[in-house]
């Protein structure tokens, strides 16, 4: 799977560079682990990761989610962040968490919501 990281916050001078540089490596390692653990697993052909600067006044983002909120779907990871010393080191972990959603939902058999399965296994009721 090709992984493309779009980092819209890279121009921020006060955002430490190390976690940003490590994020593609964390995603690549997580994908390699998943692919080896489950050969033949379905996945998006390309994963595009967007890191977007959030609103520091958004209570839901800053207080409830500690300045980092991830969303994912069909080859796209969107990380909304207001970077702090507390959360900037966790950006790679958040991106990997969203990668997991991308892979997992690429393997869900959609149809009757009451009969949703994951990789052929019925959902527990």
Written as one string, the DSSP assignment of 10-27 is: TT-TTS-HHHHHHHHHHH
Q: Check if CATH label 2.40.50 holds for domain 2-122.
A: no
Contact 26, 92 (CB under 8 A): yes
| C-alpha–C-alpha distance, residues 59 and 86, integer Å | 16
| C-alpha–C-alpha distance, residues 73 and 66, integer Å | 22
Residues ≥6 apart with Cβ < 8 Å to 36: none
pLDDT digits (tens, 9 = 90+) for 64-92: 988 899 998 888 889 898 888 788 778 88
pLDDT digits (tens, 9 = 90+) for 99-114: 888 888 888 777 766 6
* Report field, pTM of the whole predicted structure over 0.75: no
């Amino acid at each position: 799977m090709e992984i493309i990281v779009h980092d819209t916050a890279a121009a921020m001078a006060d955002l430490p560079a190390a976690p940003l540089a490590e994020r593609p490596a964390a995603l690549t390692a997580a994908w390699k682990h998943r692919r080896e653990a489950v050969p033949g697993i379905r996945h998006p052909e390309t994963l595009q990761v967007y890191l977007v600067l959030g609103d520091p006044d958004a209570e839901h983002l800053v207080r409830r989610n500690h300045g980092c909120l991830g969303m994912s779907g069909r080859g796209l990871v969107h990380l909304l962040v207001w970077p702090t010393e507390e959360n900037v080191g966790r950006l790679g972990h958040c991106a990997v968490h969203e990668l997991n959603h991308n892979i997992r939902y690429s393997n869900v058999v959609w149809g009757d919501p009451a009969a949703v399965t994951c990789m052929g296994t019925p959902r527990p009721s």
